[in-house]
Amino acid sequence: MPRMSRRAARILLSDQEQAPLHIWARSRTQPQRVVQRAQIILLAAEGVESQMVAHQVGTSDLPCKCGVSGSWR
């Protein structure tokens, strides 16, 4: 089994891509999975370590170990 990298895949986001993610990440009306995914993407874009992303988002492990960068767009 491949080892998960310490850093989440770095994602480059434009301002247009970041805007809705910031809104969703703070939303109280969006489904929790949408809020959590938006938070994961934003933290990955900042270059935060995978374990810290999981800790900050409040999960024991990242929901998608295959890498977030290819699955959210």
Residue 51: Cβ within 10 Å count: 15
> What CA–CA distance (Å, rounded) separates 28 from 3?
34
Instruction: Please report how many Cα atoms fall inside a 13 Å half-sphere around the Cα of residue 18, on the Cβ side.
Output: 10
Helix axes 50-57, 32-45, angle to 10 degrees: 150
pLDDT tens-place string over residues 14-66: 999 999 999 999 999 999 999 999 999 999 899 888 888 888 888 876 555 54
Residue 7, pLDDT score: 66
Top pLDDT among 68 and 16 is at 16
Res. 1 pLDDT band, cuts 50 70 90 = very low
Residue pair 68/40 in contact by the 8 Å Cβ criterion? yes
Per DSSP, what are the bridge partners of residue 49? 7
Domain layout of the chain by residue ranges = 15-57
Residue 61, pLDDT score: 64
What is the reported pTM?
Answer: 0.71
